[in-house]
Structure formats: C-alpha cells, structure tokens
Structure 1
Amino acid sequence: MRIGVIFGVSELANPKEFEGKASRFLSSLAQEHEVEGGFFITTKADFREARESLDFSKVDVILLYPLTGGTENALKEFGVFRRPIIIFGDPYNNSLAAGIELREYLRERLIPSSLVKSPEELRAALLGYEDEMETWNRFLRMRLGLIGRVSPWLINERFELPYTRISLRKFYEYYESIGEEEGIEAVREVVERAAGVREPVERDLTTAGRVYVAIERILKDYKLDGFTIGCFDLIGKIGGTPCLALAMFNTRGIPAACEGELNSLLGMMIVRRFFGKPSFMGNVADYGRNYLILAHCTAPLLGRYVLRSHFESGKGVGVGVELPPGRASLFKIRGRKAVVAGVKVIGVEKSEFRCRTQVKLEVEDAGDFVDGTAGNHHLLAYVDGEVLADLLSELSFEVMLY
C-alpha cells in the first residue's frame, strides 16, 4: 500500500525536537508499506510546497500525524485530495486533541477518516482501508457538476464535497451554438416512443432537445460523471425547462438532478455507481398512515410515459412516467446524514394539481418518516433499503433506517 505521510508541528513548537520521533515512525511504517512524503507542515504555505513535491491524489492512503496541537488548519488542507485518511495521535503535546478535531472536519466532508493512537491500531486501520479500497475509489473519484445555481428555496441545502461549477452564461453559450434541427433530432426517438404528447408543441420539443445537446457537450468538455442544474432560471431566458433532458440522461445512466440540488445528485451518483440503477427525485406531495406520494416533472423513463408541460410554469416539456411496481428504497441525503426507508411502489396518481410524474408508495408509518426526514427532495430507487443503508454507513454517512 502506498502511503503519503505528513507531520504537523505548530508555529509555537521547534520542529527539530520532533525529528527523531518522526524518523522512527517512518522507519517502522516503511517495513510493511511504500511510504512517501514525511513532510513537516506548519502553515498553509507548507501545504502548498508539499503538494508540489508529491501528488497526494495518487497515494492509497494519506496518514496525518499532528505531533502537536495547533496544526489543524494546515493539516485539514489534505482533504482536498479526496483520499482515505488515517490520523495518528499520541498522548503528548495535544496530539490527540488535534486529531479528533481533524477527524470530524474530514468526516463532515465525507472523507473516510480514522483516528488511531498505537502501531497496532494503525496496522488494523490500514488493513481495513486496503480491503475497501475499490469501494472508496468508486465513491471518492466521482466528478459532480452544478450548472447555474442552487435554487433559493432549498434553504437546507449544505454541501461540502468538491464539484465543478458551470455558470448559466456558459450554458447559454453551448445552447445558442446548437441549431433547431439538431435539437429536434436529439429528442425524436423519445417523442416517438411516448404514449402521448399533450401540451408541448414542436418549438417546445426543439428547445428541450437543444438543452439536452448543450448539457451533453458540457459533460464531455468538463469530464463530469453527473450534474444538477438550476432549472427554473432557464424558463425566463429560453421559455423551456430541462425536465426532458434530465429524464433522458437518467435513463441512459448519467445521474441528473434538478433545482441545482447537489445532495440529491450525490444520492443519484451512489445508486448508479454501486447498484447500476437510476433514481427518481421527487417532492413529497401527500402522505397517510401507510402511504406516501412522490411527484416531480422529470423521472427516468422506466415505464409508459406521456410528454406534458412543466407543472408550475406551464412551459417546456415535462414527463409523466408510470413507474413500475416493486420493492424500492426511499431516501434523503443532506450533508453527512441519510434517511432510508424500504418501500413498495404500489401505483401511480394523475392529479392535475401536482407535478407530472406521481408515484404512490407503501411506507410503514409514513408520518413518522416525514417527521424524521431531513428536508423535502427524496430519491426513489429500485434497490433494497437495508443494503442501501449498509452501503451509506460504509461510506461514512450517519444513517437512519425506517
């Protein structure tokens, strides 16, 4: 295993006093592993020098050893490399105190982080990471994108993971470069397979196709694995929405979330990467003792579907999909917390006073679930709830399973 090692020493301490301890630590570690680095870090300037000397994104594990307290700000910078991190603390010079603070900072950013205080614990932690390396790589290497902005009504949205931001100005540059013929051709097959087209006219379908092609080119140019888009901002500018484009991307295996919500995108990415399934992102529209209705204007095209307008604006192209019956999971991610319920898809609804795709779920004690969940948008995925909850726990989420 390739390990990148960093020692932290505060500005109040003399690094020379710790050179012997650091040397012995490195020598012991090198007997079993490929060790790189060994830099002493005091300031963020030291961090920048270290990253120029060694690409820490290429190591298997980063090992941080705060030799003193007061090193948290410099050492936390190594979280940017998105690698599993082990923090070694000892009982002296406030080493453990700094390690606890670092561990929580990193865990809040969903970076696997363990604190150990002995060579035996360190050896066990390294073995544990080695066993789960494939899982962590699949999670930590994800490239997420936000096109536009997070919708302002998502007042609980909090997101600490790295993502690429693409401005709406840049999106419009891509959009304007795409002709009408290319736009209508992009959605032709989806339109032909639809069970019906109600409100949208050819101009709406053409706009939806141009949106799809613009996003497709953005994904390629920015090398993104999935994206979310601040969709409502498009309505006034182009008179359309990306609902159909999102449905098409989710159907073909590219996670795509609406309203600029990054937490929902992250959940979609996890389900796609680890289960090979798409997710339906929806609003809680209603619930009763043992049922819940989820609704939104975009959904993966997993069943019979009708092309409609976007519900709130009456513009663009939304989709009303009859999602198939079966066992599934209903879940919500917000920051480090996740709420998961095993559910059963039992039917579809077709109210004209809700978003176009409406699915009815059998949820035991639905009121308790709604009372304990972490915000509005939820994801529905055809995966086992307990298996999903176990995976999320493994990925450092704090999971509540209903």
Structure 2
Amino acid sequence: MDVFLAVAGSPDISDDVKRSYYQEYSGQLKALGVSLSQTSDIALIVAITGGSENEIMANARQYNIIVAWPHYNSLPSALEAAAALRDSGRYTKVIALSAPKAHLGDGVIKILRLMELIKAGTPRFGLIGSPNPWLVSSNMSLVTTDQITIDESLAGLDINAGLVDARLLLRGAVSSEYDERQIAPATAYARRLLDIARSRGWDGLTLGCWCFDIGSIKRRGWTPCISLALLNQMGMPAACEGDMRALYSMYVLSKLAGGPAWMSNVNYAEGDLLVLTHDGAPPAMAEEYSIVRRSITNAPAAIRARFPTGITVTLLRVSADLKKALLLKGITIEPERVEACATQIGVKLVVGTARDVIEAGLGNHLAFVLDDVYEEARDYLIHLGARVIP
C-alpha cells in the first residue's frame, strides 16, 4: 500500500514549516507500514492552515485523504477543497485530527483499504459445484463468476500435504475428537482450493458443500467445513454452501478489516440481540476452539469456536443486485446457546436491531468480522449506490 504525501498551506507559510510537517507525517505513515510514492493515485494531503485550498487541488490525485485540525482554519480549508474534489469526480475523505501533528491512528489504514477496495472494481469469484438446494436466495447478478465441479476441485488431492496444517490446527485446539490423519483431508483441501483460486484469478470462492450429503460423506469420509474456515485465515474469502451474497459480504468486510471474515446462520433475533451459528470459524477469530463432529451427520469435522466477548463486530448481507445492504454493528457477548451448529456467537447490536434483520428481506447468512469497519463499509456500499439498512 503506497500514497503520495503532500503538505498544503497558505502562500505565506515557509518551506521549513511545511518540511517539518512532511517529516512528521512521512514518519507516521512509514510506521503504519505505508510506503510513499510520487506515482501513487492516492494522495494524503496535510492542510496545515486556511488558504490551503489551491495547494490541495494542485496536489490531489484520483483518490484523496485530506488531514486537518481545529486550529489555523485548517479544517475549513480541507472541507472546501474536499467539496471541489468530489464535484470533479475524485474520491475524497477528510480526517479531522485533534491538533497539529497529532497521530493519524489506524483509521487511515482503514480508509486506504476502502480506497483499494473501490479501485479493485468488480471481484471475480469461484463457484465450486452448485449452491446447496436449501439456498433459494443466494445468487448475485453483479459479480464475475467462474464455475468448476467439486470433482475438479478434488482432483489430485494429496492427503499427506495436509498433515502439517492438521498438526498445527490440533496443536492450537483445546480438544479434538480426531487425530491429524483424520483432519488432513480437510486441511489439504484448503491448500488445494487456495492454489486453484490463485491460478484462476479468483478474489474469493464459495463451495456447494456435501456437508449433509450422506452418500458423499460415506464416499469421501470427511466434510470441507475446516477447509473453508482455514481458507479465510489464509487470506482467501471463502463461503459455505455456494452462497454468493455471503461471499461478497465476506469479501468486503475482510478487505476493509485486513483479516478473516466468517458467515453464520441467524438462529435468534430479538430486540437488540442476535445468536448466530455455523459449523466452524477461522481459528484466528476464536478465543479458543475444539475440533468436533459435524452436526447431524457426525462426520469429521467441525470447529467449535468460542469468540472473545466485548469485541466490536461488523455484520453485512447484500442483495443480489447490490441495490440494498443490511449493515449492522454490535458487541460480542456470551450467547444463550440454541440447538444448532457447533460454533455460536452472541451479538448485542448498537447499530440496527433484530427487526432490521428480519424485515430486510435479504436472506439468511450474515457475514461478520471482529472489527469496527462499519463506517468504511457504509461508505463503500453508498459509493456503489446501495441503500444501507438501517
């Protein structure tokens, strides 16, 4: 991730003053892992005083972050220039700091991720097999889809190639009903799917799972629940059951958060409380986890994850045409367990209500990340023309 850095001020501000601000913010950006580049199409412009408008305009790129503060008419100047840049079709965000040379904070990283997501355009997704038969509201019309069969995805699968990942997974678990050789097919399949996705240029994938297909489970002896959970941890958004809407939602959230997303069934929705369930989760998202039998079929294997409480969570579900999106924010709580999948997460909503979930009309699966990317997700969805609920 790189940006073009500039300092803008009124005409009477000396070069030495501008240089000191440049050194301050170049150091901050480098400490955040951001590189400086004269050729970047993203500009971070520090407006140090009023009267900076013309210099801001002169240094602007297609994507712009203007940094300002309450003193010396810095913020008024930034707001004026930002309006002009937006009028000219250039994407612009203003960061209002508390004081000159105040720290940018991690918020600038989320804005840069947002800009990179916008620049990426329409994602290319892989569909392996077909959506599971119970998914009647999972299609998307505005993504590029490349479809292969499940048999193609399994061709050449080397179980031994999954032993190292299986060993690591078991080492991190508090308990397991299976040994590494029983887990190895699922971990090897995760690596196999990652190779396929990279070779075919996919930005994410979804799999029509054989999790309830008794014949397939008897023939193969395992289910891909762990495979998909690990793929998200490897940086490849991967949704269960062939659900494209869940995949797109996970893709957006994971790109904005810079970490894994997951998806869940909505099993309880009342007032400001949700209980979400699924047979697995990326282990990196869990406070602790166990390897257990898959629900109903008792096949190997699922991840029973226990999520940390008191963490901000952002949740998303988009419509098929991206004209509507359910976007929620909450705090993780210990769930009141229900009779459902192995992994369960409780959410106390602070933006949105259970009523919004029920009445949005967008289907079942909610994608989520354990991070506050609500504002960035909202900006992205509005940029696409979506109506954000609530």
Same fold by TM-score, threshold 0.5 exceeded? yes
Give the Cα separation in 1 of the matches to 2:195 and 2:240.
18
Question: Please, which of 156, 166, 186 is the counterpart of residue 174 of structure 1?
Answer: 156
The residue identity in structure 2 corresponding to 1:398 is R
Query: What per-residue deviation string (whole Å, max 9, x for no partner) do you get for residues 2-40 of structure 1?
Result: xxxxxxxxxxxxxxxxxxxxxxxxxxxxxxxxxxxxxxx
CA distance in 2: counterparts of 1:134 and 1:331, whole angstroms: 19
- Residue 317 (str. 1) matches residue 301 (str. 2): yes
Residue equivalent to 2:138: 157
- The runs of 5 or more residues in structure 2 that have no matched partner are 1-40, 42-83, 94-113
Is the partner of 1:128 in helix, strand or coil? coil
Equivalence for 1:220 = 198
| Mapped partners of 1:379, 1:207: distance in 2 | 26
Aligned to 1:254, the other structure's residue is in SS state coil
In 2, are the aligned partners of 1:327 and 1:384 still within 8 Å (CA)?
no
2:256–2:377 Cα contact (<8 Å) kept: no
What aligned pairs does 1:2-401 form with structure 2 within 5 A after superposition? 127-128=88-89, 134-135=115-116, 138-140=119-121, 142-160=123-141, 161-175=143-157, 178=158, 180-198=159-177, 200-232=178-210, 235-301=217-283, 302=285, 303-325=287-309, 326-335=311-320, 336=322, 337-348=324-335, 353-363=339-349, 366-373=353-360, 374-381=362-369, 382-401=371-390
Q: What letter matches 1:127 in structure 2?
A: S
Measured after TM superposition, the shift of residue 252 of structure 1 is: 2.7
Secondary structure in structure 2 of the residue aligned to 1:299: coil
SS in 2 for 1:317: strand
Secondary structure at the aligned position of 1:174 is classed as coil
Asked if 2 retains the 8 angstrom alpha-carbon contact of 1:292 and 1:362, the reply is: yes
TM-score normalised per structure 2: 0.64
**Aligned amino acid, residue 238 of structure 2:** A
CA separation in 1, counterparts of 2:252 and 2:345? 22
Residues 129 and 238 (structure 1), Cα distance of their counterparts in 2 relative to 1, 3 Å cut? farther
Deviates more, 1:312-321 or 1:130-139: 130-139
- 2:298 counterpart SS class: coil
The Cα of 1:273 is off from its aligned counterpart by 2.0
Contact 2:356 2:389 in 1 (8 A): no
Bigger-Rg structure (1/2): 1
TM superposition shift of 1:349 = 5.2
User: In the aligned structure 1, how far is the partner of 2:358 from the partner of 2:115?
Assistant: 36
Give, as a single letter, the amino acid of the residue that structure 1 aligns with 2:205. Answer: F
| Structure with a larger share of its residues in helix | 1
Q: Verify the 8 A CA contact 1:231 1:260 in the aligned structure 2.
A: yes
**Counterparts in 2 of 1:389 and 1:277: CA distance versus 1, 3 Å:** same
Deviations 1:294-340 (A, max 9, x none): 00012122221111122132112111111122122222112222111
Task: Render the CA deviation track for 1:246-304: whole Å, top value 9, x for unaligned.
Answer: 12121232211100111111111111223313222000112333311000012122221
Q: Which amino acid aligns with 2:166?
A: V
Which whole-Å deviations, capped at 9, do the CAs of 1:59-103 have from their partners, x for residues lacking one?
Answer: x9xxxxxxxxxxxxxxxxxxxxxxxxxxxxxxxxxxxxxxxxxxx
Q: Is the 8 A contact 1:136 1:395 kept in 2?
A: no
Contact 1:282 1:294 in 2 (8 A): yes
Instruction: Work out the percentage of aligned pairs sharing the same amino acid.
Output: 25
Quickly say closer, same or farther: Cα 1:312–1:385, change in 2 above 3 A. Answer: farther
Q: Which residue number in structure 2 is paired with residue 50 of structure 1?
A: none
Deviation digits for residues 332-390 of structure 1 (CA, Å, limit 9, x no counterpart): 11222211122111124555x32111011113674412322311100122224344222
Q: With the length of structure 1 as denominator, give the TM-score of the two structures.
A: 0.62
